[in-house]
Structure 1
Amino acid sequence: MTRTMVVGGGIVGASAAFRMADSGNEVVLVDKHDPGHATAAGAGIIAPGTSMRTLPAFYPFAADAVRYYPELVARLAELGAGDTRYDVVGKLFVATNNEEFERLPAIQQMMEQRRQEGMPNLGATRMVSAEEARSMFPALGEVAGAIHVPEAARVDGGSVRDAMVAGARTLGATILQGNARLLRAADDGAVIEVEGTTHSVDRVIVAAGSWTNTFLEPIGVSVHVAPQKGQIMHIEMGETDTSRWPIIGTFGDQYILTFGPNRVVCGATRETGSGYDLRTTPGGLQSVTNAALRVAPGLANGTVEEVRVGLRPLSDDGLPFIGEVEGHGSVVVATGHGPSGLQLGPWSGAIAAELALGRQPSSDISAFRPGR
């Protein structure tokens, strides 16, 4: 049996701990519960085939990550671990003007090619009129048209994280709250101090998000990750049932998605270079509000219930870091997912667990090595 400590209780760390426990291994999950967790702030779109990203290494891994979600959700349900709020609701990729509308056929062709190559969570896409788009998402304004992606899914970051932690605990994992400090890490094991108690483990999985380098500093190791602030607005729509409204995507970075019974989530800013600033700012709110109301003016009379702020761990090249640390074979890093954390996180954590167990990873992670 392998004894492992997972440092970081976001979606990646929770998944790693759950996978370790579900494999019958001894695992300790430790988290400081810092404000600014990207997982707690985020709402995720689980449909990488609709992405405009141009990084070839992203897509095969993302496809594996999306395929894993239904398996994970089913296993958590079997354990009675709680509602993940994962649901297939579809997505509308919206053109807001005629110039964007003329680009939709090429976008649809790209999606169809990805579907034929095996990308899940797309389904048979089709062009829809502005009227049909509004029938699906009544708050939409005078858009030019849209592509309907019927199998796109969404998830609530905090809910799926909480379910994985609960599942791990049910399977025997130890859950600790506190500050973890790395004292020693070599190929034969690691020693970590948590709030004055020393733990000797075979492997340590570092899934500490934007705080990864703080944990690794004692062994002189760092990865190219920095916090990117995101502000995300939650609106309540009164008596309007939003539970089956599709995700809204556009040619920009920002998005709209919904949860039942009446919540609409508008996000999110991408404030690169923000450092650890967790303030809700007028500029951030203006950016999110303007982007949302430009596409969906019907949201204007909703009630702003809350604004969440999270710090995404953003890598220099837009790809995550997943792998063993050279010269410190007991240390596995899984971080740097940026705005794709909720989409990739559960699978990344599962892969990190495989590495900690000395297994061949189930996905190609050669492009994600920590030392790059």
Structure 2
Amino acid sequence: MQKQIAIIGGGIVGATVAYYLSADPTLSVTMYDDGIGQATKNAAGIISPWLSKRRNQRWYALAKAGAALYPEIVADTQMGMSVYQQSGTIVTRADADDLETLYQLAIERRQAAPQMGTIEKLSAAEVQARLPLLTAPQAGVFVSGGARVDGAKFTEHLLQYAEKRNLVRHKGKVKLGEQGQLLTANGQMNYDTLVLAVGAWLKPLLLPMKLVADVRPQKGQLIELQLPQTWPDDVPVLMPEGERDFIPFTRSKLVVGATHENDQGYDLQVSSLVEDDLFASGRQLDANLTRDQITTVKVGTRAYTRDFAPFFGPLPDNPHVLVASGLGSSGLTTGPIIGKLLADYVRTGRHDWSAYQLPVETYLRSAD
């Protein structure tokens, strides 16, 4: 008899869990998702964690593993360049000493992360040569292993791939009962394992089980522009000092963003002030941008914890219920490896994730 698995949430974690589990014929995999406010679909899409200033070594180990996993998934599922492109990333600095420090950090970290590829220190003129859109370039460090990913296309590609195997998808909201029962519009559904990959919505989802998750919503907005010129497929992503990230996608789409707005709850309304700020940031890098080139303003809700670290795994008192949340602005980088680790646990019942995170119970408390 097949083991029944339900995945709640179709973002980066849920889609990756579904992709891996759907390959196992001993499992029957069902997904429930409403897609509202999903961070994955509204993320900037930079995969380049190696030069981060974050001091959390567990997070860095997780992010490094996530970045290394992408090429494997892309090759196995035959994704196109409009979904994922290892085009390289450029991180800029105005101060020459800061730039040298960044360069030395890159050289040091490449020893344990060969997927970083080639590392180069570039002058402002060399940065502009790599990214001709720029009208005010700064010197920077180029990392050839950096990539850009379209989160919405990536997850949909994985889910369609999984559906060809044994995934069944349902749209709509679900709730949990006191013991972790899954309550749907069609009544209670019984599953051997539940995977709760709902990001910022984990806290309200767990409340019927009298559990409070240390998860807070963070609003993120970005703008997409359609430019008259085109550029090569391998034009790099720019992570500038003091401005929003600048991500040229294939041919003529440019993304600028994203914001990190706390204390906005689950608000998904576009802010004209934020749109103005994003456009102004883009103009600092490319003075030729015009407002009529903006085609889309995207809004999503990230999940973050008090220490800005993700957590994932089985609930201490309900091991058939798995959770994942708190990925923050690095969700597209850490999400796939978290999904793979959860899928491995579903299949084997074993895990040792101490290198990647604090225990799950660190982020959970009783509501009583």
**Under a length normalisation based on structure 1, what TM-score does the superposition of the two structures give?**
0.91
Matched residue SS, 1:127:
strand
Counterparts in 2 of 1:97-176, with a 5 A limit? Answer: 97=94, 100-116=95-111, 118-176=112-170
Distance 2:157 2:355 in 1: 26
Query: Match for residue 87 of structure 1?
Result: 85
Distance 1:50 1:132 in 2: 20
Segments of 5+ residues of structure 1 without an aligned counterpart are none
Query: Match for residue 69 of structure 1?
Result: 70
Distance 2:69 2:322 in 1: 21
Partner residue of 1:219 out of 204, 209, 213: 209
Query: CA offset at residue 143 of structure 1?
Result: 3.0
Please list every run of at least 4 consecutive aligned residues from structure 1 whose deviation after the TM superposition is greater than 6 angstroms: 81-84
Query: CA offset at residue 366 of structure 1?
Result: 5.9
Query: Match for residue 183 of structure 2?
Result: 193
Query: Match for residue 27 of structure 1?
Result: 29
Matched residue SS, 2:342:
helix
Query: Match for residue 304 of structure 1?
Result: 294
AA aligned opposite 1:55 = N
Query: CA offset at residue 82 of structure 1?
Result: 7.2
Distance 2:351 2:164 in 1: 25
Matched residue SS, 2:183:
strand
Query: Match for residue 178 of structure 1?
Result: 172
Query: Match for residue 12 of structure 1?
Result: 13
Q: Are positions 1:53 and 2:43 aligned together?
A: no
Deviations 1:314-353 (A, max 9, x none): 1211111111111111111111100011111111111122
Counterparts in 2 of 1:324-335, with a 5 A limit? Answer: 324-335=314-325
CA contact (8 A) 1:183 1:218 kept: yes
Query: Match for residue 365 of structure 2?
Result: none
Distance 1:301 1:130 in 2: 26
CA contact (8 A) 1:84 1:163 kept: no
Query: Match for residue 287 of structure 1?
Result: 277
CA contact (8 A) 1:269 1:287 kept: no
Higher mean displacement: 21-30 or 290-299: 290-299
Distance 1:269 1:184, change over 3 A: same
Matched residue SS, 1:33:
coil
Distance 1:124 1:84 in 2: 23
Query: CA offset at residue 159 of structure 1?
Result: 0.6
Query: CA offset at residue 89 of structure 1?
Result: 0.5
Q: Are positions 1:340 and 2:342 aligned together?
A: no
Query: CA offset at residue 224 of structure 1?
Result: 0.9
For the aligned residue pairs, the C-alpha RMSD in angstroms reads 2.0
Distance 1:293 1:121 in 2: 32
Deviations 1:49-93 (A, max 9, x none): 02222211111111211121111112222xxx7777111111111
CA contact (8 A) 1:47 1:121 kept: no
Query: Match for residue 229 of structure 1?
Result: 219
Higher mean displacement: 198-207 or 15-24: 15-24
Query: Match for residue 249 of structure 2?
Result: 259
Distance 1:69 1:364, change over 3 A: farther
Higher mean displacement: 118-127 or 134-143: 118-127
Q: Percent identity?
A: 27
Deviations 1:79-117 (A, max 9, x none): xx777711111111123x3xx33310001111111111x
Distance 1:39 1:371 in 2: 25
Distance 1:83 1:130, change over 3 A: closer
Distance 1:214 1:365, change over 3 A: farther
Distance 2:262 2:322 in 1: 26
Matched residue SS, 2:162:
helix
Segments of 5+ residues of structure 2 without an aligned counterpart are 363-368
Aligned residues: 360
CA contact (8 A) 2:243 2:281 kept: no
Distance 1:179 1:250 in 2: 39
Query: CA offset at residue 265 of structure 1?
Result: 0.4
CA contact (8 A) 1:279 1:309 kept: yes
Query: CA offset at residue 365 of structure 1?
Result: 5.4
Distance 1:302 1:153, change over 3 A: farther
**Under a length normalisation based on structure 2, what TM-score does the superposition of the two structures give?**
0.92
Distance 1:298 1:91, change over 3 A: farther
Query: CA offset at residue 120 of structure 1?
Result: 4.5
AA aligned opposite 1:176 = H
Matched residue SS, 1:319:
coil
Distance 1:361 1:62, change over 3 A: farther
Matched residue SS, 2:5:
strand
